[in-house]
Structure 1
Amino acid sequence: MTMDIAALRRDTPACADVVHFNNAGAALPPTVVVDTVVDHLRREAAIGGYEAEAEAGARLEAVYGSVARLIGAGPDEIALVESATRAWDMAFYALRFGPGDRILTARAEYASNYIAFLQVAQRTGAEIVPIPSDESGAVSLSELDRLLDERVKLIAITHIPTSGGLINPAEAIGRRARSAGVPFLLDACQSVGQLPIDVEEIGCDMLSATGRKYLRGPRGTGFLYVRRGLLDRLEPPFLDLHAARWTAPDRYELRPDARRFEGWESHVAGRLGLGAAVDYALRLGVPAIRDRVCALAERLRARLAELPGVAVRDLGEQRCGIVTFTRAGEDAAAVKARLGAQAIHVSVSTAAGTLLDFQARGIPDLVRASVHCYNDESEIDRFVAALAAA
């Protein structure tokens, strides 16, 4: 499928003002997302928040269906929450661990997830076991096979690490998790919207994602998928009158669907904006988005590799739209500031985000340039020229 890049850029007016290579942080939303959010806020101002929510009831309900279609799930398996971290936490803290139980994870696991592992390990006596990486930097499947035994109670993997362009082999991990009967929690905050995702093909039991990154939705939005067959085994770490029903003075009853992981109060305008973003991605076709993003990223890597003193740091045999690099004699924060002064946006990854990965690689920080389908080749040329001019 050929994408109309000019139309995509018209849908993204900020393209006229900035080179936005920070899509793995927060992408530029298309106009339809902005209009959806702003229009609902205006409606709240005109008639009241509760009334505006009731008026938008059918559209809010449709968001669950849109998210479900995006990842190959059922609407009853989707919870809408305020971030990927909240989604991940609600799933992880609903699991039960005891002394000697093992949590298998990746060496490039995200800090927020690993901190949660550490907290639960300290509380329960569970063990955290990072799976060694293979020669490409991805999770080693042979090492996973070696580690999978009756002590393992969870496999929790970040699909695309925050600090590089590699894609972990989620489907192969999922096959092993199902065969072993071990729950599999996939952090897909960088992959949803960038890569086609089918939870049945992947074989994950839980998946967390955000709206603000490759989906191009509003900040303060995210979602959690929980496989229907696992729901009855999970009680969320906290409940309210939306997640459960108070049935007697000494009893309550959980919702039967994934919305048991939600809270009553929500950012209604943001949820509608998330639905608009998902529908926009579905109209474009996520496979087409992936092809465009990966092609731009490979072009950027090739151009960066030509620059003296610049080293591309991405690992993995299969790579995505996140491009990381270092520049000799200039730390990552200085590169970001220098490019930012020219309206070119990147971000910086440090050991605070993926400590085990950075320690193993012996690097203090990285510049992260992440492209999206609305970026174009002329922006890559401008980026490379600005980086070289120091």
Structure 2
Amino acid sequence: MNAATAPLPAAVRGRFPSLEQTTHLAACSIAPRSSDMDQALTTMLDDLARPGFWGAAEEQVSDARCRFARLIGAEVDQAAILPNVSIAAHQAVSGLRWRRRRDLLTTTAEFPGVAHVWLAQEKRGARVRWCGTPTGRVTSADYLHAITTDTALVSVPAVTHRDATRLNIRRIADAAHAAGATVIVDAYQAAGVIPLHVDALRCDYLLAGTGKYLLGLPGLAFLYARHPKESTPALTGWFGRCDPHALDPTRLDFPTHARRFETGTPSVAAAYTAVAGLSLIENLNLAAVRTHTQRLLACAADRLTAQGEIVHLPPTPDERGAHLALIEPHAWAMAAWLDNHGITVAPRRNVIRLATHAYTSDSDIDALCDAIAVYRVKSRTRTPIGASR
């Protein structure tokens, strides 16, 4: 029985020996350490000790690019590797011209690392328009009502980073295209834990990164471009040339494939671990992973609510990502206390994010809920560890 058919979490939990000592519910922020990651880093150090290291490193970069393209149903020539999603977003938008259409539609639920790139486009003539509530919640209907004939670009997160709201990308993309707009999707909170196929999503660009649900390290991001040769980025580097190894400082050419968006040398350690994480993800049935995570989230929400906690979980499974948000005004203090008790979570302002993945078990949810109950008792009698910020 392989990982794609074996029941979860047993199929993969053994690949994460660190989970024997800790409960990791923070994949929406950082992936847990795995034996695959350890082996990838060992391989990198072994390669570094031998001649031909740069050739070996470039093979890892190429392998990561191919595996990501396969994961999202794209051609490898539609995928580029970049240092992070902010640069990936910049590469996608920098080739646009804000002339007859000037509106860039985004949401208050957008991750700042992407939203700030959009705000920077105002100097180039864009008008940033926001949908969603001032507190950072958004629905697919908010997007559908906000798209107009003045909209040039629609930026939509596949899953929102704070509240894990999963948006209907296909409906939004269809509406945007009907109005003549380009669609870019930030899939960082979805890739690796939700099945994704760019043809089904109908997006023009898609961003993702390796440091969360793709089970790698931070330092590597991916950019999918449906028609890469139609855009020339403003930022470039030697990896973005037709033949990088020509090393010609006097010639600036751009290949027709998505590597035209690439810049300089990627993080080598992140490339090695990206291949390890993507290999692990490839061996999973992501539809089964989604069923598994949704069951765990529902159980966690039910138990925490019964304990008197306030949680935000979108009303239907189709509208949910792989984490839930526990409302907590002293989020950083609670997170520090939980960390000291062997439970890793992902705090944000006024919320604790509790993320699940293929390796998450029922006992992890039990440990979390038990610990929060103890924390509430202790916090009524003394100041919790840490400070609210």
TM-score, normalised to structure 2's length?
0.86
Aligned to 2:43: 39
Count of residue pairs brought into register by the alignment: 364
Aligned to 1:278: 278
Aligned to 1:361: none
Aligned to 2:303: 303
> Secondary structure of 1:242's partner?
helix
Q: 1:217 offset after TM fit, Å?
A: 1.0
Q: Structure 1: how far apart are the matches of 2:327 and 2:81?
A: 37
Q: 1:59 offset after TM fit, Å?
A: 5.0
The one-letter code of the counterpart of 1:47 is R
Q: Structure 1: how far apart are the matches of 2:11 and 2:352?
A: 29
Aligned to 1:54: 55
CA 1:100–1:226: 2 relative to 1, 3 Å: closer
Q: Structure 2: how far apart are the matches of 1:99 and 1:349?
A: 39
Aligned to 1:12: 16
> Secondary structure of 1:263's partner?
coil
> Secondary structure of 1:164's partner?
coil
Q: Structure 1: how far apart are the matches of 2:56 and 2:363?
A: 44
Aligned to 1:97: 98
Aligned to 2:199: 200
> Secondary structure of 2:325's partner?
strand
Q: Structure 2: how far apart are the matches of 1:300 and 1:83?
A: 32
Q: 1:247 offset after TM fit, Å?
A: 11
> Secondary structure of 1:212's partner?
coil
Q: 1:171 offset after TM fit, Å?
A: 1.4
Percent same amino acid at aligned positions? Answer: 24
> Secondary structure of 1:252's partner?
coil
> Secondary structure of 1:129's partner?
strand
Q: Structure 1: how far apart are the matches of 2:8 and 2:257?
A: 39
Superimposed CA distance per residue, residues 68-122 of structure 1 (whole angstroms, 9 cap, x where no aligned partner): 110010000111122233322221233232487101112311112222222211x
**1:167-246 matches, cutoff 5 A:** 167-227=166-226, 229=227, 231-244=228-241
TM-score, normalised to structure 1's length?
0.86
Q: Does residue 344 in structure 1 map to residue 343 in structure 2?
A: yes
CA 1:100–1:92: 2 relative to 1, 3 Å: closer
Is the contact between residue 99 and residue 126 of structure 1 (CA under 8 Å) also seen in structure 2? no
The one-letter code of the counterpart of 1:36 is A
Q: Structure 1: how far apart are the matches of 2:365 and 2:294?
A: 13
> Secondary structure of 2:188's partner?
coil
CA 1:100–1:6: 2 relative to 1, 3 Å: closer
The one-letter code of the counterpart of 2:237 is D
The one-letter code of the counterpart of 2:44 is H
CA 1:264–1:333: 2 relative to 1, 3 Å: closer
Q: 1:204 offset after TM fit, Å?
A: 0.6
Q: Structure 2: how far apart are the matches of 1:247 and 1:338?
A: 52
Q: Structure 2: how far apart are the matches of 1:377 and 1:144?
A: 36
**1:305-320 matches, cutoff 5 A:** 305-308=305-308, 310-315=309-314, 317=316, 318-320=319-321
